[in-house]
Structure 1
């Protein structure tokens, strides 16, 4: 077994070109300035795992680091909005019934770069990710939709991408039993080198039965546990969040294929049904407020766990060796950040821990459904820092909010001057 030595980088003592060489060697999507900023935030030289964590969690895809200022200007509250932005999905009021409201759970995101590079897998994992967001709110997925934009269909590569994206959407949606009920498709030369694959999923839920994508303030005092469920972590999709935030370069096409996740819709169907069953049990026990549930997509184990604790400024302690893995000799940064598909994260009161573990591992027998798939207890919610350990050493030790918000940008911009004209009309 490979022994990984803890690496640290004193970026403050390096020239820009030296930093850029280190970052390129380890495929970390940071600038030299950002690398130095991480060292300032920590007050010490970051480890390789920490640099990787910030490269992913600090990307536009994960943290909206430069667009959040602009997105924050959009209206997000209204009488019919049950739950606005900030969690895995939003909820819009459908109908009032007695003292409760039923809502439509809805989420939309894009899987553009993955679908341009590996069209079938890119589109399929887009569907796989978007349905997880609905389930994590406590809802059952009832449908998907896909607004699609492709290049000129007279060009061979554009036509191939179109066909394989459509095949990927159906190839994932059909096995999980979720119908695609709508969408649209447009073709234009402007999409020849970068298609737009938007994926959307919807579900139905009662307002009183929503499960949140963050732990409550008392989670640390109550000693909440952290459980990872699903496919064993491997190195697939490593760096996908950073890749999704970068400009596509034809020269990097082969290398970028490794950042696209690998779908397994048949395992996902099992995870969906078993999770619906667990949500039902938690409802019956009146314990929905004693759990938090999150999709594991971009940034993998790290992203899901840090986002679950950061809302109420809590921390966590996670032993990366307790996370079930699908291959030998994986570096701790990969265990933390790989975007292996078909995974969820539960955080729960310790009274519920064994119930959740037994539910997936025994009642629904995950280990027999896919090799080394399971539910694993990997850590605790804590006060203080977000800590990842490997072989007894801390490979990441930082405030959760610094990881999720430390690389925000507030760029100056000049509003465009647009002259509007009334359209000319023809009399009669």
Structure 2
């Protein structure tokens, strides 16, 4: 990829001359789709990002949101999300691992301590050997990096769909904790004359041109030709960087900070000073290097990992260097903040004269890329064409699908207990974290504390490509509602969200139309739920010779609650079973099966389900009922429908006797309307009263102590015990054992 002719003309007009080789490369990377959002930025104004709790919204390395508080003390969390899609196809282990490292450093640059990760992963058909190869490599990379740095991976999602075969998606989100508002740092350079210091790993030739690589369709030989564009991670250095960053923030040594990600040092340093309407002078030869003989351009745009750029008061530089040395990290004084242009120089020749490689206005470099004017083709929904499948066959096929089967093989490789704050572990609707002391000594402090009265932070992340492939707008609305339902089912109300918007080549009108629809759908539902979207990431050009990916709007959403206790999704065996929010079930009418795993298994089509009219009231009520003493268990109804939800709730000690009436029992069991919850309760009338005027409540049976699911639907009845259910759901684990 080279700087496009139209872009070069703009650059020449601005500079009054031809750009140098280094300038052209920097513009190529920073004006790429990956960095400049040239096709998506015009659409992103659809998101509501403002709220009284939002401290820092979109545009920084991560968003900052205040947790609810009754006092004057402020506790903030940070939220960020990134994609590492193309690198994870070329090199699944390193591509996924460095995605984790990058989002953690985004968290560090805000002055926060990373406390939780979520990974949402999307692959081609699980039956294909290449898909399983990518899947195994990505999970191994995530687990290796996250476990080594001591940040728990607590939630996420995994989906399989034919159209990811040539281009998998790896989306990673991170939550950080800022216990004191004085510790907040941003990426906005503060003062001319301040020193720029590079701390962390040495700079090498790995990751050259990563930003431009991420803005192209993948070719057939990408796995070999594009390997140099993939960064190589070192989690042990990242762990030291986390601890060093904490000390730097403790001692108030940092004026601003930026993680070195896309476009490397050139991207990080120019963006910092542009945000402050300032300039910089960078001396590239001062950068500590891993490989001999690197030229200035390579140093400028290398995307070597585990590096941070700090703005430091000159009086504090010596102390920063001391802390870096203490943690065995490289440290280079590379330049200073100025009032002029963004300038990069390097010494050349025997006389060591400085040669200017870059001399441009930082704001033009970061914000000057023109937006693309693209056409959209509106997607249409398919007609109704349903297969006729026996209940027993449908139940086994849907429950055994890799999309609805147990993901234990994945999350058991992630350390979710490190930092001693995970109250609800992976495998439930949402994780719940105890918001206690952050930082290096947090685990020791937690072990000495009996305090269980603080804020509980619920965390959910994911999307369903079946939904957004079938109906991009309604499917994206359902993705937002499902993530909100996940946290509500654990007793939390939504606080804020970030998104990772993945699409194919936007220059194709049908692809861009689908992408625009997921943006609008996600934005509309988040607005209806009064949940600000405080940041995000866009990844386009996810195309390969096999075609474009489905439009995929990953949402990572956090909610808060008092305390850390939450109802389990596992049945208790003592209560009545109610389904909340299922309109088709309540009216015993035909349900819409569009986007369902049932139709994916049996090659049918249908329109997408209609979502609740007042989802904000529904979510608030679900959260309140989930925290009631009479509530024994709660579980979101989504992927696979009610049949899968009930099966997931059965244990060796508790089962269920359920009866679904009406002539359309199969549709009622397998449709995937978002915004539904199964509630086991000892006081069903209280649940009905709570949802009166909000959503329908349907009693479908009772929990038992049998460890068996007895399911009657129309003229069919099935009985499956917990062992049989477990066998059905072990598809992934059995295949990869």
Question: Shorter-chain-normalised TM-score: which range?
Answer: 0.7 to 0.9
Query: How far is 1:73 from its partner?
Result: 2.8
Q: Give the TM-score normalised by structure 2.
A: 0.50
Q: What is the CA–CA distance in structure 1 between the aligned matches of 2:107 and 2:590, rounded to whole Å?
A: 50
Q: Partners of 1:354 and 1:144 in 2: how far apart?
A: 34
Offset at 1:400? 0.2
For residues 364-403 of structure 1, give each alpha carbon's deviation from its aligned partner in whole angstroms, at most 9, with x where no partner exists: 333xxxxxxx111010100110000012011100000111
Give the Cα separation in 2 of the matches to 1:238 and 1:348: 27
* Structure 2 SS opposite 1:96: coil
Q: Could you tell me how far apart the structure 2 residues matched to 1:334 and 1:254 are? A: 21
Higher relative contact order (CA 8 A, sep 6+): 1
Task: Show the counterpart of 2:227.
Answer: 257
Residue 386 of structure 1 corresponds to 342
Task: Pick the structure with greater CA Rg.
Answer: 2
Cα distance, 1:410 vs structure 2: 4.1
Match of 2:189 in 1: 215
CA distance in 1, matches of 2:321, 2:204: 21
Question: Could you tell me which residue of structure 2 aligns to residue 298 of structure 1?
Answer: 262
1:139-178 equivalences under 5 Å are 139-178=112-151
Contact conserved, 1:148 with 1:184, CA < 8 A, in 2? yes
Q: Which residue of 1 aligns with 2:285?
A: 321
Contact 1:66–1:408 (Cα < 8 Å) also in 2: no
DSSP-derived class of the 1:100 partner:
coil
After superposition, give the CA deviation of every residue in 1:173-196 in whole Å (9 maximum; x if it has no partner).
111111110001010101101111
Are the counterparts in 2 of residues 95 and 103 from structure 1 also a CA contact under 8 Å? no
What CA distance in whole angstroms lies between the structure 2 residues aligned with 1:172 and 1:410?
A: 37
User: Could you tell me which of 296, 303, 312 is aligned with 1:332?
Assistant: 296
C-alpha separation between the residues in 1 aligned to 2:256 and 2:227? 33
- Residues 167-219 of structure 1 show CA distances to partners (whole Å, capped at 9, x for unaligned) of 00001111111111000101010110111100111111133421111112xx0
Give the drift of 1:418: 6.3
| 2:100 alignment counterpart | 127
**In 2, Cα distance between equivalents of 1:302 and 1:97:** 43
Asked if structure 1 preserves the Cα contact closer than 8 Å seen for 2:91 and 2:223, the reply is: no
Structure 2 partner of 1:84: 57
The TM-score with structure 1 as length reference comes to: 0.85
> What CA distance in whole angstroms lies between the structure 1 residues aligned with 2:93 and 2:285?
32
Higher helix share: 1
The answer as to whether partners of 1:65 and 1:405 remain within 8 angstroms in 2 is no
**Which residue pairs with 2:331 in the alignment?**
375
Q: Distance in 2 between matches of 1:184 and 1:63?
A: 28
User: Map of 1:107-122 to 2, 5 A cutoff?
Assistant: 107-122=80-95
Contact 2:39/2:374, CA 8 A, preserved across alignment: no
Question: Matches of 1:97 and 1:74 in 2, distance apart?
Answer: 29
Note the C-alpha offset of 1:359.
1.5
1:242 aligns with 2:212: yes
Aligned twin of 1:70: 43
Partner of 1:354: 318
Q: Distance in 2 between matches of 1:335 and 1:82?
A: 34
Partner of 1:279: 249
Cα deviation for residue 413 of structure 1 reads 3.7
Provide the rounded CA distance (Å) in 2 between the counterparts of 1:74 and 1:146: 23
Q: Does 1:344 align with 2:308?
A: yes
Q: Distance in 1 between matches of 2:109 and 2:276?
A: 19
1:140-161 per-position Cα deviation (integer Å, ceiling 9, x unaligned): 1111110111111111111100
Alignment match, 1:409: 371
| Partner Cα distance (1:412, 1:166) in 2 | 36
Provide the C-alpha distance between the structure 1 equivalents of 2:338 and 2:237, rounded to a whole number of angstroms: 32
The 8 Å contact of residues 196 and 336 in structure 2, kept in 1 or not, is answered as yes
Between the aligned partners of 2:198 and 2:106, the Cα distance in structure 1 is: 16
2:226 alignment partner, SS class: helix
Q: 2:76 aligns with which of 103, 113, 117?
A: 103
Q: CA deviation at 1:101?
A: 2.3
Change (3 A) 1:186 1:426: closer
Q: Judge conservation of contact 1:100–1:208 (CA < 8 Å) in 2.
A: no
- Which residue of 2 is the match for residue 47 of structure 1? 20
Task: Check if 1:33 corresponds to 2:6.
Answer: yes
Structure 1 Cα separation of the partners of residues 10 and 259 of structure 2: 29
Check the 8 A contact 2:183/2:250 in 1, yes or no. no
Q: Give 5+ residue unaligned stretches, structure 1.
A: 1-27, 367-373
C-alpha displacement of 1:425: 4.0
RMSD: 2.1
How many pairs were matched up?
383
User: Which of 238, 249, 267 is residue 268 of structure 1 equivalent to?
Assistant: 238
